Structure formats: C-alpha cells, structure tokens
A = this chain, B = another copy of it.
Amino acid sequence: MTQPSDIEIARAAKKLPIQEIGAKLGLAPKDLIPFGHDKAKIEPEALARLDDRPDGKLILVTAINPTPAGEGKTTTTVGLGDGLNRIGKKAMICIREASLGPNFGMKGGAAGGGHAQIVPMEDMNLHFTGDFHAITSAHNLLSAMIDNHIYWGNELEIDMRRVVWRRVLDMNDRALRQITASLGGVSNGFPREAGFDITVASEVMAILCLAKDLADLESRLGDMIVAYRRDRSPVYARDIGAHGAMAVLLKDAIKPNLVQTLENNPAFVHGGPFANIAHGCNSVVATRAALKLADYVVTEAGFGADLGAEKFFDIKCRKAGLTPAASVLVATIRALKMNGGVAKEDLGAENVEAVRKGCANLARHIENVKSFGVPVVVAINHFSGDSDAEIAEVQNYVKTQGTEAIICRHWAEGGAGTEELARRVAEIADSDMSHFAPLYPDEKPLFKKIEEIAKRIYRADEVIADKKIRDQLREWENQGYGNLPVCMAKTQYSFSTDPALRGAPTGHTIPVREVRLSAGAGFVVVICGEIMTMPGLPRHPAAEKICLNDAGEIEGLF
C-alpha cells in the first residue's frame, strides 16, 4: 500500500466551513472574520467575553535536536490534538505560522504530515491571512521614518553610526544582510551601513507574539530602541512617532487565525518567530484564547527543546504567566540513529546500537525539561521501517530516565494513532504534577543568564564573549534592562554552536557573536556561533521547481 503524499492527503481533506469549526468552540459566525471558506480571524470582542472562564491545561510539544531524518514535532502536535478530541476531551491546537522565505529555499513548508495535518496547507505556506506581511510593513515603516528623521535635520540627534533598527523582508536574501543605504546624493539622505533580517527575526514579530492585546502591542512598539545618541542614550520608536501607525498596520495581524485539522478539530495558527533566531513560540493571544476555549491546549515550541522549550519556558511562560501542565518530547527512531552517528543513507537498516547512542540526546532533553518542573513523556513518532528491537531499546532507555516512551502512529492513522499518548498526557495534565519555574530569576545579571543556559541546558564549559559584548550587556543593565530574560540565537542542530555536533556533546564552548536589545519585546537576543538572522538560498532553491500545474494546483511547494 502506498501512502499518499502529505499534499494529496491535505487536498483530499473534507474541510468543514470555518463557521462550523468556530461553532465547536462556541463562537458565532459574527465572531469570525472569514478569509476564504476555511480560515478566519477571531474578533477581539469575542475573546474578551471569555475572560471569566477557567483556563484549560497547557501542554507543550517539544523535540530532540532536528536532523535531516525529520522528527515530526508539528505532526505530533496535531496528532495529539486530534487524539485528545478523539478520546472525548475538548482540545485545541496552537502552532506557529510558516515563514514565506524559507519555503522557497531548502524545501517547502508543511503544517504536520500524513494524516496529522492542519489545513488549508497551501494557504498556510503562502500568504495565509497576511500577518507576516503586516509585520514586514510595520517594521519597515519605522525603518523609513528613522532615516527620514535624520534626512530632515535629525532633531533627536541620532548617532547615525548607532542606528540599531534594521529592515526586514520575508525572504531568504543574503545580499541584503549588509548594505550601504542612502547612496546617490543629497536627495537620498546620508549614506550609512544598514541591513535586512528575515521578518520572523523582527522584534515586531516577537512583540506580536508576546503582547496581551492591541494596547499592549502599541505600548511595546513604542518601547523599542531604534538608535543611540553620541552620549549612548537610547532613541525609542516612540520618539520617532511610529508606534501608532505600526499598531494600525498590525490591528488585524494580532487577531488569532482559526483553521482545522484533517479531523476537523480547531487549531489556532498565529505568530511565528523562528526558535533559532527568536523566541520561537506562537502568540500569547492565541494561546490564552485557546486556554479559554478548550480544556486542553496542545502547543509547540520550535526546533529542539534546547532552543524551543527553553525559550517557551523562560520567555513566553515567564512573561505571560502561563503554567504548562505537561510536555511531550518527540523523537523518531531515525533521528535517534542520526544522533547516534548513522548517515542519512544508512537509516534504512536496523541499528539498535546507534539508537541507544542517540538516546543520549533524548535523555538530556528529558532532564532539561524536567529541570523546569514540567512532567515529560516521550512520543515515538512511528515510521514503518522502525524495528521492534529499536523501539524496545528507546522505551527501556526512557524508563531509566524516569519517564515513558509511547508509540504514536498519527502519521498513518491520525488521531486514532495517538490515543494512548492522549490518555497519558491528559492524566498527567489533570494530576497537577507540574511545578513549573523558569530556569533563572529575573534579577540575575544578563551574562550570568547566558552562562546559566549554556551550562545547564547546552552543557557547555564556558561562554566566550568579547569585552565589547560584556560592556554592552553591562550598559543595558545600567539602563535598567538587566531584569530581562535572554533569547538565545544559535543553530538548531546541536546543543552546541556547531551544527555537525550531534548527540549530547560536552566540553564545548558557546561563542557569543553579537547581542541585541529588544526592549519592546522584553528580552536580549544573544547571537551565538554562525547563526544568521537573514538566511540565504541554496544552489538550487525550491522555488525553481515551484509552479502551478495544468489543473491549477501548486507543485513543488511541499
């Protein structure tokens, strides 16, 4: 039997009109702003009505370090949501939106896989409801207004060499990483060095994902630092007068997007910073709304638990006052084998020894997640080639780590394949076993926070940073930003900053290349190793193969 492809399954989905999905949540048609027949934003008034309701249980899905073998974190998030609904629980899913740029780079995006997907998959991987475009516009409006301010006389006395607000595009475009702008003479302004990041790395994206409502969003936008004067005093977006117009541009983007799974269960897909260069979680607005609308909310945090879960706990939960009740750590036999040293082309062969070796990566993530006080259960996202012996090896290994590993067959079977996981997760969530606490207290100095994460989560020996970087951190502490959490930007492929270092490395060092203050979002971005805030395209971008076929269907995007 050949399993149809993800996109074939997605296209064959029997979607319900989005109004019917809303009705499952108790939302009336007028509470929804439709985008086509299968997507809708939720009116803030409808969400405000829910304030008195008790919160549901928050369940985090995280994963081992990703490998080219794939581990299926989103797929498992969707499968678990469907599984919970299937066993009679009222559950919702909250995931992040896809970024357009990378879809045209390495490979297309997806929203789950097999029979555990969120639809409409094609829209979600293209413009969706326009949220990222709104962020790009708002971000670049501020950029234009900064240069415009300087052009017209620079009343705020911005030090042109210290403009820290860059521009963004939702595109993988290495040519824009570093540019000289305002060339061409008097009418084009004062030449200066500048550059672009990808939209998901924008502080505006982080703010959209962390703000509790539109008023909070506007206030945080105003707090963003865009430049410094010669005396090093900060210039804020508020000084430029951009925050109001930015909020207007974002007034719809902050409304959560409702879609559905293949099994017609409701899902919010909203916000989407990358977890390797930003905090990597879907929006607080969507998560909070889901907690009011459902008894169980399954959400994910990007990439492996070293990046995704750490920032979910230390940034999103800390700042939004959320308390996760349980967590699921996703692994595949194949990815464990790769973490155990097997090359991608050799993954087909049974290799219990490699699985056992790879479990070191899994074990460390279990230990890390537990260190936040959150109970964790392992989900083995089943592939047809997995051998019984390999699976038994993982299950036995995980037992020695004080938890359990449950086989999940959602890719092939949908929610029916995650019933066992769903039951166990619900049980844990209902047991109030969680004693969540962030890793470090607010008042710890910034560099110590970086060291804490590097040593306790990444298991590095030390953090390397120039005097310039240490001085910068101290300066921000003196300006009153010392109480912020840190948002680590590093490769997702390893606990270390070396993407090739799989498994559970020790003895490595974490080199800090750059630090950026996101005063509006409320964290300090710490850029480690070679990670780029503007990706590039590969030699043959996926875009070369993306087209519409004669039936008007998209080919090559998935």
In the complex, chain A residues 33-89 whose Cβ is within 8 Å of any chain B Cβ: 33-37
In the complex, chain A residues 509-558 whose Cβ is within 8 Å of any chain B Cβ: 536-537, 539, 541-548, 552, 554, 556-557
| Central interface residue in A176, A188, A247, A546, by most chain B CB within 10 Å | A176
How far, in angstroms, from A172 to B194 measured CA to CA in the complex? 17
Which chain B positions have C-beta within 8 A of A542?
245
Contacting pair A140 B182 (CB below 8 A): no
Contacting pair A137 B170 (CB below 8 A): yes
Contacting pair B188 A181 (CB below 8 A): no
How far, in angstroms, from A133 to B199 measured CA to CA in the complex? 13
Which chain B positions have C-beta within 8 A of A343?
none
How far, in angstroms, from A173 to B188 measured CA to CA in the complex? 9
Q: Which residue of B lies closest to A150 (CB)?
A: B175
Contacting pair B175 A144 (CB below 8 A): yes
Contacting pair B36 A214 (CB below 8 A): no
Q: A33's contact among B36, B140, B183, B554, by CB below 8 Å, is which?
A: B36
Contacting pair A172 B184 (CB below 8 A): no
In the complex, chain A residues 119-148 whose Cβ is within 8 Å of any chain B Cβ: 126-127, 130, 133-134, 136-137, 140-141, 143-145, 147-148
Which chain B positions have C-beta within 8 A of A187?
174, 536
Question: Given A35-B35, A141-B104: A248 and B554 within 8 A (CB)?
Answer: yes
In the complex, chain A residues 227-264 whose Cβ is within 8 Å of any chain B Cβ: 241-242, 244-245, 247-249, 251-252
Question: Given A127-B130, A241-B543, A245-B546: A194 and B171 within 8 A (CB)?
Answer: no
A5 within 8 A of B: no
Which chain B positions have C-beta within 8 A of A167?
176
Contacting pair A175 B194 (CB below 8 A): yes
Which chain B positions have C-beta within 8 A of A188?
174-175, 177-178
How far, in angstroms, from A37 to B18 measured CA to CA in the complex? 14
Contact with B along A161-195 (1 / 0, CB 8 A): 00000010111111111111111100111000111
Contact with B along A210-230 (1 / 0, CB 8 A): 000010001000000000000
Which chain B positions have C-beta within 8 A of A136?
133
Contacting pair A145 B175 (CB below 8 A): no
Which chain B positions have C-beta within 8 A of A178?
182-184, 188
Q: Which residue of B lies closest to A125 (CB)?
A: B248
Q: A548's contact among B174, B244, B536, by CB below 8 Å, is which?
A: B244
Which chain B positions have C-beta within 8 A of A175?
143-144, 147-148, 151, 181-182, 188-189, 194
Contacting pair B179 A180 (CB below 8 A): yes
Contacting pair A145 B177 (CB below 8 A): no
How far, in angstroms, from A143 to B171 measured CA to CA in the complex? 10
How far, in angstroms, from A408 to B218 measured CA to CA in the complex? 43
Which chain B positions have C-beta within 8 A of A557?
248
Contacting pair A181 B171 (CB below 8 A): no
Which chain B positions have C-beta within 8 A of A249?
126-127
How far, in angstroms, from A554 to B133 measured CA to CA in the complex? 19
Question: Given A133-B133, A140-B171, A546-B245: A536 and B36 within 8 A (CB)?
Answer: no
In the complex, chain A residues 268-291 whose Cβ is within 8 Å of any chain B Cβ: none
Question: Given A174-B188, A248-B546, A548-B247: A148 and B541 within 8 A (CB)?
Answer: yes
How far, in angstroms, from A385 to B88 measured CA to CA in the complex? 70
Q: A180's contact among B140, B180, B541, B546, by CB below 8 Å, is which?
A: B180
Which chain B positions have C-beta within 8 A of A35?
34-36
How far, in angstroms, from A140 to B140 measured CA to CA in the complex? 15
Contacting pair A100 B137 (CB below 8 A): yes
Distance in Å from the Cβ of A127 to the closest Cβ of chain B? 5
Q: A543's contact among B100, B141, B174, B537, by CB below 8 Å, is which?
A: B141
Q: A537's contact among B145, B195, B544, B554, by CB below 8 Å, is which?
A: B145
Q: Which residue of B lies closest to A187 (CB)?
A: B174
Which chain B positions have C-beta within 8 A of A546?
244-245, 248
Which chain B positions have C-beta within 8 A of A169?
140
Question: Given A182-B175, A184-B178: A548 and B218 within 8 A (CB)?
Answer: yes
Distance in Å from the Cβ of A16 to the closest Cβ of chain B? 15
Contacting pair B244 A214 (CB below 8 A): no
Which chain B positions have C-beta within 8 A of A241?
543-544
| Central interface residue in A140, A144, A187, A547, by most chain B CB within 10 Å | A144
Q: Which are the 5 A-B pairs with shortest beta-carbon distances?
A: A244-B547, A178-B184, A133-B133, A241-B544, A245-B543
* 24 A–B contacts from the bound complex (CB under 8 Å): A34-B35, A35-B36, A126-B249, A127-B134, A130-B130, A141-B171, A144-B172, A148-B536, A148-B537, A148-B541, A174-B182, A175-B194, A179-B179, A179-B181, A244-B543, A244-B548, A244-B556, A245-B543, A245-B547, A245-B556, A247-B548, A248-B548, A251-B548, A251-B554
Q: A242-B543, A245-B543 are in contact. List 16 more A-B contacts (CB 8 A).
A: A127-B249, A133-B137, A143-B175, A145-B541, A148-B173, A148-B541, A175-B181, A175-B182, A175-B188, A176-B181, A177-B183, A214-B548, A244-B547, A244-B556, A245-B544, A248-B554
